[in-house]
Chain A
Amino acid sequence: MFESLGEKFEGVFRKIRGQKQLTDDNIKDAIREVRMALLEADVNYLIVKDFVQQVREDAVGQEIVKGVNPAQQLFSIVQKGLVRMMTGDPETDREFVVEPGGEKLILMLGLQGAGKTTFCGKLAARLAEKGTKPLLVACDVYRPAAIEQLKQVGGSLGLPVFEMGTDTPPVEIVRQARRHAAENGNDVVIVDTAGRLHIDEVKMDELVSIRDAHKPDYTFLVADAMTGQDAVNSAKAFNDQVGIDGVCLTKLDGDARGGAALSIKAVTGRPIVFAGVGEKSGDLEEFHPDRVAQRILGMGDVMSLVEKAEKAMDGEDAANMQEKLASGRFSYNDFIKQMKMINRMGSLKGLMGMLPGLGGLMKNMDNDVLTREFKRVEAMILSMTKEERENPELVKTQGKRRDRIARGSGHTLKQVNELVKQFEQMRGMMQQLTGDGVMGGLKKAMGGGDMPNPGEILAGGGVPELPPGMDPGMMPGVPKKYAKQMKKMEQKKRGSSYTPPKKKKKKNKSGRR
């Protein structure tokens, strides 16, 4: 994992505190960090060059606002620049509107393995939700079982799939499909094409002939978020030769920083419309330039985390939980339910990586250890009687019960005691947090309102403050040694931001002497 740009900035700018203006000279190191961060995020080299130049021009000469950290100031210039570059232009972009009763043709294209077929399914599912009747058309006549794949995708969604085997040219398949759609009342036709290299002339010509014969209403380029420097070449070729209206960036649920988004937008001028965030049909999101900007800069993606959390909890559960938390009736059953929710959200490490600053801390943490720890806690709780689970007081007050639980779950008494202690602390903490509801509390706990303000994060030294009175050791399932590590880091961060930098420097100097 990478160190976030914010953290690097903090170090770089320490030496220019007290200066009045951003100058070419004092932002030089910071600019270099910007450049490296963008390159590490896979933004194309040439685009980085331009971008960095722009940032420099924007920054130099700016007065340093009093009370604002110069790091913050430059960071916000960088972030705004990125968002601007990835935001669509309402003047030139074709808005993607598909209404029931129309007669739309949508064409998907892209390299092999970008995720076209999966995206076709997701888009069809979404359009069907809006009341249209999509028809999926299988035009990948090359890859073995590609047609079968689309048929299965369509089948699982209950949507029709049109295919003519592998011997009919795609242009003809589309023609027949449109006729079929007209006859069967399908108002949107989604054409899945074969993955192809942008330098494969024969196959590029095939796309051109589909375009010329059928004039699709929208053409989407499906691109992999993990793409490197080559993203510009392929995107440009597809746009120049066939023409695209928008881009879907897939596999954003991984940990790639997604700099390809910037490259593709810059080189094609076309908006990135959708983000693919998983393998299931519902895993499709609108593309948010601001979030990807954060991600590119290694600032974590708090909004996505919160959304993920909201998705993982169904509404009723969440309301129940909140009420229980507020009233202090939080039981072991609820605890286990909550752990399961967290598990449902995906890898712990991935989640922690979304939190600004924590990414760096987590890089030494083994995900396996965390999951294993979850399992241990679960085993202990499952060794409690129903009564004990509902009424934590019993376990808290009666050593005999704890002893039985330990033996029943194959743990030591000490481990059970630790769990009980953690649980009780957490219960207390949760009660404090629930003023704004569970999600509000979670957002609060993450140190922000709606969007985390990078400045705030920077001022806090990179890690959002933990809620008052919260000891990292109280986080359920965090093994003690890591808790210690987190605590130490927390202290260190606080310490460093409270220590006037000048003093520190002096100390270092005297130390050297």
Chain B
Amino acid sequence: MSFEKFLFYAFSAVLIFAAVMVITRRNPVHSALYLVLAFFASAGVWLLAEAEFLAIVLVLVYVGAVMVLFLFVVMMLDVDQAAMRAGFIKMLPVGILIGLLIAGEIFMVVGPGTFGLDQVAAPERLPADAQNTAVLGSLLYTVYMYPFEVAAVLLLVAIIAAIGLTHRRRGDATKYIDVAKQVSVRKGEDRVKLVDVPSEEKMELK
């Protein structure tokens, strides 16, 4: 077994282990951390496939930004474990059965019989000075320009949706301090209020 092959199997094993842990852990924080591990392992696999830029972006964007945010959310939310587990055991046999069925089918199709090296030849090694960042960039802005723009619109919709669903205009419950109003207070009439109180009649004692 070549060293490269060994690396591939090592990363893949870690990836599968981490993925299984993500869905079986009780504590959502643990799940999120295993997901980070899964991202690292798949970044390793991508590196082996000579997609260096994508591998680095996966770590930077997913691990560095998305998962950190995700962890914040998971820690902030008070997830009710009992409610989430309800019906888990009841559904488990069906889930396992379907899962195994699909996994078996996938293995039959994606196995060496159809995707082996004798069926699909391994791509040629890129020269040492190959620039896959430059290639990605130029493809993204030429051939895939239209989908790229659509993806931008998609992000805009995500922003609108997120703000639309969470932004609440607070009513009178919150008292804001308006600095401009405070500053423009005039000395005489605004600060002191003279109230004309009618004098009381002398009370009679009984």
A and B from one complex: no
Interface residue ranges, A against B (CB under 8 Å): none
